[in-house]
Amino acid sequence: MNRQDPRKKVRHSPFRTAKNVWFMIRYVLRYAPGYLLVTLLEALGKGGWHVAGVLFTRYLFDAIEAGEDFRRVVTFLLFYAGYNAVFLLFSRWRLSVYLPKVELVLHEGIQNELYEKARKLDQSCYDDPEFYNDFIWAIRESDKRTVQIMENISLFLNRLLSGAVIWSLLASMDLYAALFLLCAVLAGFFVRNRLNRVRYEKKLELNPIARKKSYVGRVFYLSQYAKELRQGKISSLLREKYAGAVEEEISCIKKYVKKIFFLSLLASLLSGVVPSAGMTGYLIFRYILDPTLSLGQFSASIQASHKLFRTLNDLGSCLNKFNEHSLYIENVRRFTGYEPKIQGEIREVPPFESLEIRDLSFTYPFTEGGEPVLSHLNLSIHRGEKIAFVGYNGAGKTTLVTLLLRLYDAESGEILYNGVNIKNYSPEEYRRHIGAVFQDYKIFAATVAENVLGGEYSEEKEPVVKEALEAASFTERLKLLPDGIQTQLTREFQKNGAALSGGEAQKIAIARVFARPFELIVMDEPSSALDPISEYELNQSILKNAAGKTVIFISHRLSTTRMADRIYMFAQGKLVEEGTHGELMEKNGKYAEMFRVQAEKYRAGEEASPKGTPDAESSAVSPAAFPATSPFEQQAASWEGAPEGLRGEYPR
């Protein structure tokens, strides 16, 4: 692609800069509109303060020279002092009381908006590293930049006001001096602008390096990596990667250091020593040569030139800052401008009756040229059915679930929900009808009840939570938790938070789909973290509680799925067989082969284990799959009493 990466664009027109600044001001209008008023008051107050300072000096000297009435001078002085006192009071209140509060209000509002934006985006955004860059920029920069922009606006306005008055005052006394100052400041402005662009380019280059470093930091910080880090040599590999990133950082800094040094030196000369010293020398020289100049005029012109110099410099810096902010805001806007492609008009989604998949093919985004992960699938599911998707890892089962949930949209073929293409439904409304337990389920740092409800808990919801936990076979473990359903999960924030085992956490995730009245439930490897007995109990419980509901089980452990009304066998993205367990065993195809392989593993595990206990590998086939030949014979025997769908023939 030849198109220039918009992130690398370091020049913005004044119009674009203004648009970007306005974009951030709109955050202020949304979350803290009073801040705009306070900023304008500060700008006017400070501008007036600067102007009054110069005018007062001039008046004072002229009044003394002209022998004015002393009382008038004192009255004027009192007014001036009063104005200063009021402004000082306001300014202090703004800085110490108002600003810290408003910063937090803005922070909360903006971050919430960005998090919500991220939640609504398509899943495919997470496959795109550039999305992460924009997301991180937005989260890191937006609230900080909003406050900085408001402060810049305040400075800009007050300097514009005082600059205009003081400049005309100086120009009326000495036009050349006023023009000289203007030129020096303009030169400084352009140099600083260049300097800012170089700094921004450097930051752009450093951003991906910072991400590498923060990845390593995250791995060492997050508890889910802690066990792996204590094994093998992965931690030294990560440290090497970190050191590599630091080296990259150093060479990037080296690349820019000279440029930044010279530009910043030039900028300080042009906006510091050169015009300041030149101006003072020139004015003294003029005063000596021109006897018509009054002392008041001379001292006012000295003060005015210094004030003007500072004011113009500040104005230049403000414009530089607006330009700099604009570069950063552009990235924030790119993130907020991401629009989900997955959309749909229909908001009224009827209760589930059927799903039909017609000639569905799918390739993940950002894998152009790759093989389709799913190709030409056709299948249908009706209300009340228990369906199983089975197949080896990588066959495409989870991908199909993500398509059913509309986390991605397939490029060809269609999925019909009650006969309507799911692309016509609003994704949010549509997803409300499907309860899903993901293979990589997550437990949140919140109470058991909040985790189960997926939201806030209130007392009247207690029975719902408890029933859902019972449906997920969590009741026994619940009895051991110190605060029952109010127990805090994870130790992220609480020292005595409950640390659940993988299987226990998985049950909490399963309970979520029972806490809401879903008619269609999808369970992706719901028992992958469970031991065989728990798996059997859970299967029983799920079937009992999901009676009348439609359930799609996804698993490569055939013991979990054999009870299904219909089994779909996937291989390399294609549907290769379908039927009941009995039909597929009779067919003696891929399913039967997979079932036998798992049974072999189980037997091997049984022989290898003195007590016949299957090892982790062999648990691929649970006792539910076998008659009373193992230590699980009791469980297996009770299989006979299991619901109809759970029974099946066992390979011998």
Element (H, E) at 358: strand 354-362
Q: Nearest distance from residue 537's CB to ligand ADP, in Å?
A: 24
How would you list the strands of the sheet with 550-555, edge to edge?
434-437, 520-524, 550-555, 386-390, 566-571, 574-579
Nearer to ligand ADP, 127 or 290 (CB): 127
- The footprint of ligand ADP on residues 45-104 (CB under 6 A) is none
**Residue number with CB closer to ligand ADP (316 or 396):** 396
219 binds ligand ADP (CB under 6 A): no
DSSP 547-613: TTSEEEEEES-HHHHTT-SEEEEEETTEEEEEE-HHHHHHHTSHHHHHHHHHHHHHHHHHHHSTT--
> Is the CB of 231 or the CB of 393 nearer to ligand ADP?
393
| Residue 120 beta carbon to ligand ADP: minimum distance, rounded to whole angstroms | 19
Q: Cα separation of 252 and 259, whole Å?
A: 12
90 vs 364, which CB is nearer to ligand ADP? 364
Among 373, 453, 515, 624, binds ligand ADP (CB under 6 A): 373
How near is the Cβ of 396 to ligand ADP at its closest, in Å? Answer: 5
**For ligand ADP, which stretch binds (CB under 6 A), given 24-32, 155-163, 395-403, 497-505?**
395-403
Indicate the residue among 124 and 619 with the shorter CB distance to ligand ADP: 124
Q: How far is the CB of 620 from ligand ADP (least distance, A)?
A: 14
581 contacts 651 by C-beta, under 8 angstroms: no
Q: Which of 142, 399, 487, 560 binds ligand ADP (CB under 6 A)?
A: 399
* Stretch binding ligand ADP (CB under 6 A), from 6-14, 388-396, 426-434, 477-485: 388-396
Q: Tell me the window of 159-167, 338-346, 394-402, 533-541 that interacts with ligand ADP (CB under 6 A).
A: 394-402
Q: Which of 275, 344, 372, 391 binds ligand ADP (CB under 6 A)?
A: 391
Q: Least distance in Å: CB of 395 to ligand ADP?
A: 4
> Phi and psi at residue 627, in whole multiples of 5°?
-75, -175
Least separation in angstroms between residue 409's CB and ligand ADP is: 14
Q: How far is the CB of 468 from ligand ADP (least distance, A)?
A: 25
Give the pair of three-digit tokens for residue 319: 């414009």
Provide the minimum distance between the beta carbon of 597 and ligand ADP in the complex, in angstroms, as a whole number: 16
The three-state DSSP-derived secondary structure of 117-135 is HHHHCCHHHHHCHHHHHHH
Instruction: List alpha helices for 174-272, DSSP H.
Output: 175-221, 226-229, 234-270
Q: Is 369 in the site for ligand ADP (CB under 6 A)?
A: no
Amino acid identity of 67?
Answer: G
Instruction: Find the part of the chain contacting ligand ADP (CB under 6 A) among 188-196, 289-297, 386-394, 587-595.
Output: 386-394
| Residues sharing a CB contact under 8 Å with residue 611, sequence separation 6 or more, in sequence order | 631
Residue closer to ligand ADP (CB basis): 182 or 407: 407
Give the separation between CA 158 and CA 50, rounded to whole angstroms: 9
For ligand ADP, the closer of residues 127 and 130 by Cβ is 127
Locate tokens 């600067």: which residue?
50
CB 330 within 8 A of CB 20: yes
Smallest distance from the beta carbon of 366 to ligand ADP, in angstroms? Answer: 7
Count of residues touching ligand ADP (by CB under 6 A):
12
Query: Beta strands 386-390 and 566-571: pairing type?
Result: parallel
Q: Which long-range contacts (CB under 8 A, 24 or more apart) does 285-290 make?
A: 286/174
C-beta of 196 vs 598, nearer to ligand ADP: 598
Considering only residues 395, 513, 543, 546, which one is a binding residue for ligand ADP as defined by CB under 6 A? 395
Give the binding range for ligand ADP (CB under 6 A) out of 1-9, 135-143, 391-399, 444-452: 391-399
For 535, list phi and psi in degrees, rounded to 5: -60, -45
Contact with ligand ADP (CB under 6 A) among 208, 272, 278, 394: 394
Tell me the β-bridge partners of 524: 554
Report H helices in 338-482: 397-404, 427-431, 448-453, 462-471, 475-480
Handedness of CA 581, 585, 586, 591 (dihedral sign): positive
Least distance (Å) from ligand ADP to the CB of residue 553? Answer: 12
The Cα–Cα gap between 509 and 532 comes to 18
Based on the shown chain and the rule CB under 6 A, indicate whether residue 397 belongs to the binding site for ligand ADP. Answer: yes
Contacting residue, 154, 323, 331, 398, with ligand ADP by CB under 6 A: 398
Binding mask 97-136 for ligand ADP (x = CB under 6 A): ------------------------------x---------
CB of 571 to ligand ADP, least distance (A): 9
Among 163, 396, 526, 623, binds ligand ADP (CB under 6 A): 396
Q: Residue written as tokens 């979520």? A: 512
3-state secondary structure of 241: helix
Comparing CB distances to ligand ADP, the nearer of 394 and 651 is: 394
* Burial class, 188, CB count within 10 angstroms (exposed 0-12 / middle 13-18 / buried 19+): buried
What are the start-end ranges of the E strands in 409-562?
Answer: 412-417, 420-421, 434-437, 520-524, 550-555
Helix (H, G, I), strand (E, B) or coil at 527: coil
Least distance from ligand ADP to the Cβ atom of residue 127, Å? 5
606, two tokens: 């049984």
Measured from the CB of residue 393, what is the shortest distance to ligand ADP in angstroms? 4
- Rounded Cα gap, residues 508 and 487, in angstroms: 13
Q: Which 335-364 residues touch ligand ADP, going by CB under 6 A?
A: 364
Q: Which stretch binds ligand ADP (CB under 6 A): 194-202, 392-400, 544-552, 624-632?
A: 392-400
Centre a 10 Å sphere on the Cβ of residue 510 and count the other Cβ atoms it contains: 28
User: Cβ–Cβ contacts within 10 Å for residue 562, how many?
Assistant: 30
Residues that bind ligand ADP (CB under 6 A): 127, 364, 367, 373, 391, 393-399
